[in-house]
Amino acid sequence: MKFINKNQEPTEFSDWKNKENENWQPTYNELQNPEKQKVFQSLLDEQGYICCYCERELKNNDYHIEHFKPKDQNEFPELQLEYANLLCSCQRNVNHGEPLHCGNSKKNWYDDNLLISPLDTDCEEHFSYRADGHIIPSQADNKKAETTIERLQLNIEKLIDLRKNAIEPFLDGDLTEEELDSFVNGYLIEKDSNNGKYNEFYTTIQYLFKK
């Protein structure tokens, strides 16, 4: 999970909400293009085109708007159009039999004491990564990290394999220490210098190879 620094909400989104009057109140279900597409684009830009939870690359429209505090819970109705509560999660188009993860597995669950937010500046410090592709709590007694991993299904076989595939090129025994360092630095390039994108599983590579 990589920290997300939120941008200001798109002007088009603000303008649409500001049309509220005594006869009409904006709701998330009424949010349509072009305003919805502007929200999508802003979320993709600030996240560097990686999933807010697992850090897979977001591409081919296989992503959806995620409400960190669920819009369907009675205690958060005021947050359904709050830009600070919106993220972009992977897995919009789920094939039959495909395991759910990230926003799809989280669904309407939320517990402030047990769910780590990618909007928390220290979110990356809660997790460690292994060369076999597993993500684990950085400390054994970190119940919040443990529950977050479980609820978001971050250790399903699919994601373990994808992380492992991202890790393997860096384990090439023929690389000199200098070559490995250059390889890692090139992979961890900032999104502003990489067509607005982070390379997927950014924090996994950072944790394992950036000393």
* Pairwise CA distance, residues 30 & 23, whole Å: 14
Query: Residue 44: which domain range?
Result: 11-204
* Pairwise CA distance, residues 11 & 149, whole Å: 35
Ramachandran assignment for 90, one of left (phi > 0), alpha (psi -120 to 50 degrees), beta (any other): beta
H/E segment holding residue 112: none
135, 163 in Cβ contact below 8 A? yes
User: Of 116, 106, 154, 118, which is closest to residue 134 (Cα–Cα)?
Assistant: 154
Residue at 6 is within a domain: no
Residue at 139 is within a domain: yes
Residue at 150 is within a domain: yes
Residue at 209 is within a domain: no
Taking 50 as the pLDDT cut, the residues of the chain under it are: none
What spatial distance separates the first Cα and last Cα of the chain, rounded to whole Å?
18
Is this prediction's pTM over 0.85? yes
* Pairwise CA distance, residues 126 & 31, whole Å: 34
pLDDT digits (tens, 9 = 90+) for 110-126: 999 999 999 999 999 99
pLDDT digits (tens, 9 = 90+) for 148-186: 999 999 999 999 999 999 999 999 999 999 999 999 999
The β-bridge relationship of strands 135-137 and 86-90 is: unpaired
DSSP code of 133? S
Per-residue model confidence (pLDDT) at position 36: 97
For residue 21, report the phi and psi dihedrals to the nearest 5 degrees. -150, -175
Structural domain total, the chain: 1
For residue 86, report the phi and psi dihedrals to the nearest 5 degrees. -100, 135
Q: How far is CA 166 from CA 20, 55, 185, 199, in A?
A: 47, 11, 15, 10
Per-residue model confidence (pLDDT) at position 73: 60
Residue at 31 is within a domain: yes
